[in-house]
Amino acid sequence: MHQICVLISGGGSNLAALIAAIHCYQWDIRINSVIADRACAGKQHAIAAHIPFHLVDRTLDKTTFAEQLIATVPPETELIVLAGFLSIIPPSLLHHFPRIINIHPSLLPKFGGAGMYGLKVHQAVIAAGERESGCTVHWVNQEIDGGAILAQNRVSVFPDDTPEQLQQRILAYEHQLLPATVARLCAQLPPFHQ
């Protein structure tokens, strides 16, 4: 059983999609914990699925935040999944857990980097007159949204789209892309023995 830990900050719809896919396809994957950096609606998905939930407060000083994150991620975790986690990943977490992936709601490297999150991404895509956007799953490194790309889904942008409409359309594609990528990565990992 592969062990993954999911970090969230918001609604947790990607977490819900991951939980549903693992259940539906009977993947050999266990979400061992869900960790949030703030009070958020996504907690309910963890609770409903009986997954241990933890809060590591983002308002802590940087060093304590990093220490608490490292102490909270179960040590047997093979892959950390950032599913709408808004805090910057501390370098020390990456040092302890080098396998961290993130999902971003654009076709990286376009519309990524500092300040590009939530509706801001979709506002920028529409303002730039893009005909196409999408979502990306990538490895996390020290650069915001800068790690190697693992998978992308392309999504049309329609002329009269609002940022909210585009966000919702892309989110539906995220819900396919993230579970599929997690399954692919876990299948490549050696079996985990407790």
Applying CB under 6 A, the residues found at the interface with ligand GRF are 8, 10-14, 42, 83-84, 103-105, 135, 171, 174
Beta carbons within 8 Å of 119's beta carbon, 6+ residues apart: 163, 164, 167
What pairs with residue 79 in β-bridges? 4
Query: Is the Cβ of residue 135 or residue 157 nearer to ligand GRF in the bound state?
Result: 135
The number of angstroms, rounded, from the C-alpha of 38 to the middle of its chain's C-alpha atoms is 15
Beta carbons within 8 Å of 131's beta carbon, 6+ residues apart: 156, 157
Q: Reduced to 3 states, what is the DSSP secondary structure of residue 85?
A: coil
Residue nearest to ligand GRF (CB): 84
User: Which of 80, 6, 93 lies closest to 46, judged by CA?
Assistant: 6
Query: Is the Cβ of residue 96 or residue 169 nearer to ligand GRF in the bound state?
Result: 169
The residues assigned a catalytic role are 104
Query: Is the Cβ of residue 135 or residue 183 nearer to ligand GRF in the bound state?
Result: 135
Q: Phi and psi at residue 181, in whole multiples of 5°?
A: -70, -40
Smallest separation, CB 190 to ligand GRF (Å)? 28
